[in-house]
């Protein structure tokens, strides 16, 4: 009889252990599913992050290229502006020179010509007369 009771006790403990084992197995399976899902989610997130990084890298490269093109355009435009400024300065200098010539021309408009100066200059007149004679 003791053997039967020991056997029954043993069987009831085995039943409890089997139930605990099944319960633990379910927990392990649930945790494995969660871990697998978490890994898949993490892999998807990593893949999306890599795609985003690639897209941003490409966009930055495109923007750098655009920036370089714009910078070269700005440099070219600055060179054109500088050349035009130099041209304007030259024209302003030319205008100033022409204005001075006009002012000087007014002074000399009624002045003696070189022929008149030669004829009226006594030193030159004697040499001209002596050359003629």
C-alpha distances out from residue 41 to 29, 45, 52, 84, 117, Å: 18, 6, 16, 63, 108
* pLDDT for the residue 124: 55
What pLDDT digit, counting tens, does each position of 60-78 carry? 999 999 999 999 999 999 9
Q: What is the pLDDT of residues 42-51, one digit of tens each?
A: 999 999 999 9
What string of H, E and C letters represents the secondary structure of 65-83?
Answer: HHHHHHHHHHHHHHHHHHH
Range of the domain at 123: 2-132
Could you say which residues of the chain have pLDDT below 70? 1, 105-112, 122-133
Count Cα atoms within 13 angstroms, Cβ side, for 18: 6
CA atoms of 72 and 61, how far apart (whole Å): 17
Structurally, the chain folds into a number of domains equal to 1
In eight-state DSSP terms, residue 110 is T
| pLDDT for the residue numbered 1 | 66
Q: What is the pLDDT of residue 6?
A: 85
């Amino acid at each position: 009889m003791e053997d039967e009771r020991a056997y029954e006790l043993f069987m009831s403990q085995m039943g409890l252990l089997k139930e605990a084992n099944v319960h633990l197995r379910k927990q392990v399976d649930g945790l494995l599913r969660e871990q697998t899902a978490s890994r898949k989610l993490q892999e998807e997130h990593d893949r999306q992050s890599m795609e985003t990084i690639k897209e941003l890298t490409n966009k930055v490269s495109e923007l750098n290229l655009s920036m370089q093109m714009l910078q070269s355009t700005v440099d070219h435009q600055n060179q054109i502006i500088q050349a035009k400024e130099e041209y304007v300065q030259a024209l302003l200098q030319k205008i100033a020179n022409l204005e001075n010539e006009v002012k000087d021309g007014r002074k000399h408009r009624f002045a003696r010509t070189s022929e008149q100066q030669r004829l009226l200059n006594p030193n030159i007149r004697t040499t001209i007369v002596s050359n003629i004679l």
